[in-house]
Amino acid sequence: MNVMNGKFTRVLELLSNFFLLNLIWLLMCLPIVTIFPATAAMFGVVRQWILHDDTAVFTVFMKYFKENFKQSMVIGILWGFFAFILYMNFTLMLQLGAMKFILLPFVVLFSVLMVFTTVYIFPVMVHYKLKVFGVIRNSFLLSMSFLPSSLLATLVLVGMFVLFLWQPFTVFISFSVGGYLIFTLCNKVFTRKENYN
């Protein structure tokens, strides 16, 4: 009975940590412009959970939020710019008639590369001490070098948004759980990469 109570307590603690992390992330995202620093901080927390078995939430979140604020803001601006260019290209392409079928594969390819790189951006940012260009470059190279993991991480990312659209109340836990799963996949890639070297 004590073993069952211990497991039940552990599950409740885990769920409450995911809920608390998700809630802090949502609150820190409210100004909109802080979405990237808040997401970096969320990945910093799940990194601590996975690598150091440290279940702290708020203090670790604020630590990573401050540490990665400038870098994540710069990357956020760059990513916003790339997304805008991609959107404009897609909009213009739709008005080109038959020509759009020639350009479509290039736009789709660029979109896929951007999404694959995106799933590594925050794990790389909080795991390694790199400059902005180094974070982007390594995220891209890792995403291309480990395509099955990139695809799985992308499916998790898409799954988070589909779950939210299907059941909006899951917004209070789905993003922290998704972040945990994505960092777990990325951490396996980091380990394999380091073992190769």
Task: Give the number of other CB atoms < 10 A from CB of residue 112.
Answer: 14
> For 167, left (φ over 0), alpha (ψ -120 to 50), or beta?
beta
pTM of the model: 0.91
Question: Is the four-CA dihedral 52, 56, 59, 60 of positive or negative sign?
Answer: positive
The pLDDT score that the predictor gives to residue 90 is 82
The pLDDT score that the predictor gives to residue 150 is 95
Those residues of the chain that have pLDDT short of 50 are none
